[in-house]
């Protein structure tokens, strides 16, 4: 087995070393392979032995457990490292994440940052070329956007103006795309020209501003005159450059605006043509909505819980009104005597009316309960029909009269209570009650007495039915 006497000893000053930092693994492998070439180490077993001698103990334990290491195959061992450390592959083929991280770390590079720009350009091109290698993992447009967004606003505007005036447009298969007009190399080249020209102008400006000390009064006057003339000339040149740059910016804005207007016009024209082609020649008749169509979203009747109608026109409600069970006042439903209808969850109003129908109303509608009689007539096989229609009409009229009397009675009671309160207040204040007020109170009492007598007579007449 050949030895490698020229390989540096582990932990020596010139020996390769890796302690687990993933970002330095690629550099460690590169130096290790260069050292193998210098030391003429070609045997796989020797390469593996020296590689593990330059790493830390924890890494050495991990690598020595690989099957490729036990088989003493250096190439297979390197492929295994690429599997265990994918960063090695991305370092060789490029990484979009690394490219974007580079751009984030170099934001707002200005026209005066020449050294920073050159360093960024070298690193950017290195990553961009790797990412563009087949199969490419990034497009030219994305590279241009990342590069341009790294520059300051003034640098970016000047670069776009320079590209619009002097840039070579990107042509692909005989066509130039407006959304991807320039190659990344063209963009970087124009940016380098701008920053070089800016620094050259600054150098000339600083050089011209220097002047030697005057030797005499005449030379001083001439020097001041010359300096003033140079300064004015520089100001004029600077103003002309600013004017030219403004013209370029206005021209570019006009071009972009015109392109946007043309694009909008084309889009509107295509949309109108499409709508015209798809529009029907005649409008179909609109369907009239009807509640009786029973749409899937229509609720059931709140009164009877049956579909197909609303509670206002419910036939069961209309029949209960005719029978004198309930009355409707706007959107309110009450029993015929004015009391409310109790409600239960999940139970329709119709069931509540049947369950909680007050006894007086039930007696008027259905009659008093039949009691057993000792003198019942014998069964002759023929039943005398009862005047149901007349009884029902009479009962409805009685219910309506009873309701009206009940309302009148409540009104008179309230008025009498008001009168009594008034009299008590007058008495407590020591004031005398006039005779007219006493007569009014007596008249109210007489009306209440008369109304109670009518209700008593009505109740006895109902019991006769």
C-alpha distances out from residue 369 to 22, 133, 459, 463, Å: 100, 103, 15, 10
Which of the residues in the chain have pLDDT under 50? Answer: 1, 4, 204, 211-212, 214-215, 217, 219, 221-222, 282, 284-295, 371-377, 379-382, 384, 387-389, 462-465
How many whole angstroms separate alpha carbon 195 and alpha carbon 369? Answer: 112
| Tokens of residue 266, six digits | 């084309």
Measure CA 114 to chain center: 44
- b/e 409-431 (16+ beta carbons within 10 angstroms → b): beebeeeeeebeeeeeeeeeeee
Cα–Cα distance between 162 and 190 in angstroms, integer? 7
Q: Quote the pLDDT of residue 67.
A: 92
Q: Which tens digits make up the pLDDT trace of 53-108?
A: 999 889 999 999 999 999 999 999 999 988 888 877 776 677 788 888 888 888 88
* Residues 6+ positions from 78 with CB-CB distance below 8 Å: 29
Domain boundary assignment for the chain: 22-93, 108-114+136-205, 305-366, 388-464
Complete DSSP assignment for 345-382:
TT--HHHHHHHH--HHHHHHHH-SPP---TTPPP--S-
For residue 55, give Cα distances in angstroms to 21, 72, 273: 11, 18, 72
> CA-CA distance, 159 to 104, in Å (whole number)?
19
What integer pLDDT is reported at residue 290 of this predicted model?
43
Q: What is the pLDDT of residue 316?
A: 93
Residue 217: its pLDDT value, please? 47
172: exposed, middle or buried (Cβ count in 10 Å: 0-12, 13-18, 19+):
exposed
Res 397: pLDDT: 74
Q: What is the pLDDT of residue 348?
A: 92
| The two three-digit tokens of residue 85, written as one number | 């450390």
Specify whether the CB–CB gap between 206 and 221 falls below 8 A.
no
Distance of alpha carbon 62 from the chain centroid: 49
Buried b (16+ CB within 10 A) or exposed e, 104-121: eebeebebebbeebeebb
- Cα 302-303-307 angle, rounded to 5 deg: 65
Q: What is the pLDDT of residue 90?
A: 73
pLDDT at 232: 65
Which helix (H) or strand (E) covers residue 329, if one does? strand 326-329
What is the per-residue pLDDT for 74?
92
d(CA 320, CA 211) in angstroms, rounded, equals: 116
Q: What is the pLDDT of residues 400-410, one digit of tens each?
A: 777 787 787 77
CA 313 – CA 329 distance, rounded (Å) = 14
Dist CA 347 CA 341 (whole Å): 12
Average pLDDT, the chain: 76
What pLDDT does 430 receive?
A: 62
């Amino acid at each position: 087995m050949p030895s490698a006497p020229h390989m540096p000893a582990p932990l020596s000053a010139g020996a390769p070393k890796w302690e687990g930092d993933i970002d330095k693994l690629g550099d460690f492998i590169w130096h290790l392979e260069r050292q193998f070439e210098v030391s003429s180490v070609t045997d796989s077993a020797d390469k593996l032995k020296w590689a593990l001698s330059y790493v830390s103990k924890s890494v050495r334990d991990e690598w020595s457990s690989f099957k490729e290491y036990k088989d003493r195959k250096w190439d297979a061992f390197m492929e295994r490292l690429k599997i265990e450390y994918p960063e090695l592959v991305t370092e060789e083929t490029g990484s979009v994440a690394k490219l974007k991280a580079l751009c984030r770390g170099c934001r707002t590079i200005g026209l005066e940052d020449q050294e920073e720009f050159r360093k960024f350009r070298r690193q950017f091109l290195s990553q961009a070329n790797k990412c563009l290698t087949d199969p490419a993992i990034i497009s030219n447009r994305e590279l241009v956007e990342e590069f341009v967004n790294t520059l300051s606003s003034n640098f970016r505007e000047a670069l776009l103006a320079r590209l619009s005036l002097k840039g070579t447009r990107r042509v692909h298969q005989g066509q130039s795309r407006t959304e991807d007009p320039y190659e990344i190399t063209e963009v970087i080249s124009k940016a380098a020209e701008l920053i070089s020209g800016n620094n050259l102008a600054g150098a000339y400006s600083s050089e011209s501003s220097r002047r030697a000390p005057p030797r005499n009064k005449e030379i001083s006057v001439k020097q001041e005159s010359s300096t003033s003339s140079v300064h004015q000339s520089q100001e004029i040149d600077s103003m002309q450059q600013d004017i030219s740059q403004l013209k370029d910016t206005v021209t570019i804005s006009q071009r972009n605006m015109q392109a946007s207007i043309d694009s909008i016009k084309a889009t509107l024209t295509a949309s109108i043509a499409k709508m015209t082609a798809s529009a029907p020649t005649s409008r179909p008749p609109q369907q009239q909505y009807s509640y009786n169509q029973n749409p899937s979203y229509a609720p059931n009747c709140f009164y009877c819980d049956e579909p197909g109608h609303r509670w206002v026109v419910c036939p069961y409600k209309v029949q209960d009104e005719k029978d004198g069970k309930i009355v409707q006042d706007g959107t309110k439903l009450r029993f015929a005597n004015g009391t409310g209808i109790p409600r239960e969850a999940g139970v329709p109003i119709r069931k509540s009316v049947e369950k909680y129908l007050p006894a007086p109303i039930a007696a008027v509608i259905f009659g008093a309960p039949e009691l057993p009689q000792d003198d019942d007539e014998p069964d002759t096989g023929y039943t005398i029909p009862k005047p149901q229609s007349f009884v029902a009409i009479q009962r409805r009229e009685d219910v309506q009269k009873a309701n009206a009397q009940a309302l009148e009675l409540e009104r008179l009671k309230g008025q009498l209570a008001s009168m009594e309160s008034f009299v008590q207040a007058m008495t407590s204040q020591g004031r005398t009650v006039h005779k007219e007020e006493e007569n009014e109170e007596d008249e109210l009492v007489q009306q209440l007495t008369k109304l109670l007598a009518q209700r008593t007579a009505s109740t006895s007449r109902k019991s006769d039915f």
